[in-house]
Structure 1
Amino acid sequence: MGLLDGKTILVTGVLTEGSIAFHAARLAQEQGARVVLTSFGRQLRLTEVIARRLPDTAPVVRLDVTSAEDLAALAGAVAEHADRLDGVVHSVGFAPQAVLGGRFLEGAWPDVATALEVSAYSLKALAVAARPLMPRGSSVVGLTFDASVAWPVYDWMGVAKAALESTSRYLARDLGPDGIRCNLVAAGPIRSTAAKAIPGFEAIEGGWDRRAPLGWDVADADPTARAVVALLSDWFPATTGAIVHVDGGAHAMGL
């Protein structure tokens, strides 16, 4: 039996085969889940192509997490493919180039607001939109990058991740009475499309393998995906508001 037998999981953020979201969707299917993907705009066609590279082709529903109309329609769109959602994977993040790459002090509010809305507020928006389909025992899992410190070049995306981590804790508080868990996985640096969009990302990933007692492979998203699937499963029934670090142990080491 698989960890997710009989469950339906909604996965956001699948754009390439190298993304954490793709690996989570693939592993979820391998563990018995039915998977539904989301995408929008020009990315929709790309996600549909990538969906065919999963073990089982997954349906794709439209969702722009900044669109009130898309969020309101999400439950209905998912209901065309499944009668409930046992889990939701939030793998959404974006910050304009103007607030990354050493431009922290120059960051203007409109660009910062975009980073916060897409990367942090969207966790709450997605959870609320999916809530009508989520029974007791369901799980929301998001992806973060350790926001307890200031990273080179990460700048306002780091602030957005801090907001994401706080948002997850408040969701855990308010969704808990419904039996819905909310947790985050803090991954080490992965050379995903999102990471490549950060100017100077090498300053973050450089030396990570040496600092991590278990070592770290920036090209391997599978360990992170395994943690996501584990948190979606019934094996963490009393865990919520937590951050699980999947970074080779680097977060626990001094410089």
Structure 2
Amino acid sequence: MGILEGKRLLVTGVLVESSIAFSVARIAQEEGAQVVLSSFGKALRLTGAISGRLPQKAPVVELDVTDSGHLDTLADRLREHVDGLDGVVHAIGFAPQAALGGNFLNTSWDDVSVALHTSAYSLKSLTMACKPLFGERASVVGLDFDATVAWPQYDWMGVAKAAFESTARYLARDLGKEGVRVNLVSAGPLGTTAAKHIPGFDQLTDVWNDRAPLGWDVTDMEPAARAVAALLSDWFPATTGEIVHVDGGVHAIGA
């Protein structure tokens, strides 16, 4: 038996095989979970195709986390595939190009609001949309990137990640009494499709190459994905509001 045997999970953000979310879905299935994926728009077909590369092909539901209509009907549409949820993986983040790349002082609110809505507020809206399917216990896990410092070029996505971390803490506070744990996995820079679109991504990887006590492989999604799987399992029953660093130790080492 795997550590996720019998768990029913929603995994967002599976677009390509090289994503952290894909590795989470794969490991979750290998550990015994029943997995449903989400995607939307033109990416729906892509996610459906990528689903076929999992150990078991997973169903895909349409979900744009900024669309209230999608969120309002999510629970009913998930019920077509599962009779409840034990866990949710938030692997969603987006900022317009104008909000990245050293343009911090000139970014308009219109662009900032998109970054905050998609990358931070969506943790609350996704969790609440799934909440009707939760039983006595559930685990929500989000993918994070260290927001304690200002990184080169990261700009308003860094601000969004700080809001994301705070959102997780408030969700943990308000949902704990209902048996819902909310935690984040803060990974080092990984060569996902989304990361490669961040201007100056190579500068971040240089930091990890210099400072990670355990070393760092930007192509290896497995460590972060395993941490997510562990937090989805019953092995952390009293842990909530936490940020688990899977970054080779960089967060603990001074510049």
- Compute the TM-score of the two structures, normalised by the length of structure 2: 0.99
The letter for the 2-side match of 1:8 is R
What secondary structure does 2:47 align onto?
A: helix
The letter for the 2-side match of 1:67 is D
Q: Match for residue 121 of structure 1?
A: 121
Query: What is the CA–CA distance in structure 2 between the aligned matches of 1:83 and 1:112, rounded to whole Å?
Result: 37
Residue 136 of structure 1 deviates from its aligned partner by: 1.9
Query: What is the CA–CA distance in structure 2 between the aligned matches of 1:217 and 1:201, rounded to whole Å?
Result: 14
1:224 aligns with 2:224: yes
Q: Match for residue 101 of structure 1?
A: 101
Query: What is the CA–CA distance in structure 1 between the aligned matches of 2:189 and 2:204, rounded to whole Å?
Result: 7
Q: Match for residue 7 of structure 1?
A: 7
Provide runs of 4+ in structure 1 moved above 3 Å. none
Contact 1:137 1:234 (C-alpha < 8 Å) held by counterparts = no
The letter for the 2-side match of 1:51 is S
Residue 137 of structure 1 deviates from its aligned partner by: 2.0
What secondary structure does 1:156 align onto?
A: helix
What secondary structure does 1:138 align onto?
A: strand
Q: Match for residue 64 of structure 1?
A: 64
Residue 209 of structure 1 deviates from its aligned partner by: 2.5
What secondary structure does 1:86 align onto?
A: strand
Query: What is the CA–CA distance in structure 2 between the aligned matches of 1:192 and 1:227, rounded to whole Å?
Result: 17
1:164 aligns with 2:164: yes
Query: What is the CA–CA distance in structure 1 between the aligned matches of 2:94 and 2:238, rounded to whole Å?
Result: 31
Query: What is the CA–CA distance in structure 2 between the aligned matches of 1:240 and 1:14, rounded to whole Å?
Result: 24
Query: What is the CA–CA distance in structure 1 between the aligned matches of 2:231 and 2:25, rounded to whole Å?
Result: 13
Provide Cα deviations, 1:91-128, integer angstroms capped at 9, x if missing partner.
Answer: 00000000101111111000000000000000000000
Query: What is the CA–CA distance in structure 2 between the aligned matches of 1:209 and 1:235, rounded to whole Å?
Result: 31
Provide the identity percentage. Answer: 66
Residue 205 of structure 1 deviates from its aligned partner by: 1.1
What secondary structure does 2:244 align onto?
A: strand
Shifted more, 199-208 versus 187-196: the winner is 199-208
Computed over aligned residues only, the root mean square deviation of the Cα atoms, in angstroms, reads 0.6
Contact 1:9 1:85 (C-alpha < 8 Å) held by counterparts = yes
Query: What is the CA–CA distance in structure 1 between the aligned matches of 2:72 and 2:189, rounded to whole Å?
Result: 33
- Compute the TM-score of the two structures, normalised by the length of structure 1: 0.99
Question: Which residues of structure 1 form unaligned runs of 5+?
Answer: none
Q: Match for residue 250 of structure 1?
A: 250
Residue 207 of structure 1 deviates from its aligned partner by: 3.6
Q: Match for residue 83 of structure 1?
A: 83
Query: What is the CA–CA distance in structure 1 between the aligned matches of 2:241 and 2:207, rounded to whole Å?
Result: 30
Residue 206 of structure 1 deviates from its aligned partner by: 1.2
Q: Match for residue 202 of structure 2?
A: 202
Q: Match for residue 178 of structure 1?
A: 178
Residue 210 of structure 1 deviates from its aligned partner by: 2.7
Query: What is the CA–CA distance in structure 2 between the aligned matches of 1:182 and 1:160, rounded to whole Å?
Result: 18
* Count of matched residue positions in the alignment of Structure 1 and Structure 2: 255
What secondary structure does 1:136 align onto?
A: strand
The letter for the 1-side match of 2:119 is S
Query: What is the CA–CA distance in structure 2 between the aligned matches of 1:85 and 1:197, rounded to whole Å?
Result: 32
What secondary structure does 1:147 align onto?
A: coil
Provide Cα deviations, 1:114-164, integer angstroms capped at 9, x if missing partner.
Answer: 000000000000000000001122100001100000000000000000000
Provide Cα deviations, 1:148-202, integer angstroms capped at 9, x if missing partner.
Answer: 0000000000000000000000000111011000000000000101101111211
What secondary structure does 1:116 align onto?
A: helix
Question: Which residues of structure 2 form unaligned runs of 5+?
Answer: none
Contact 1:135 1:180 (C-alpha < 8 Å) held by counterparts = no
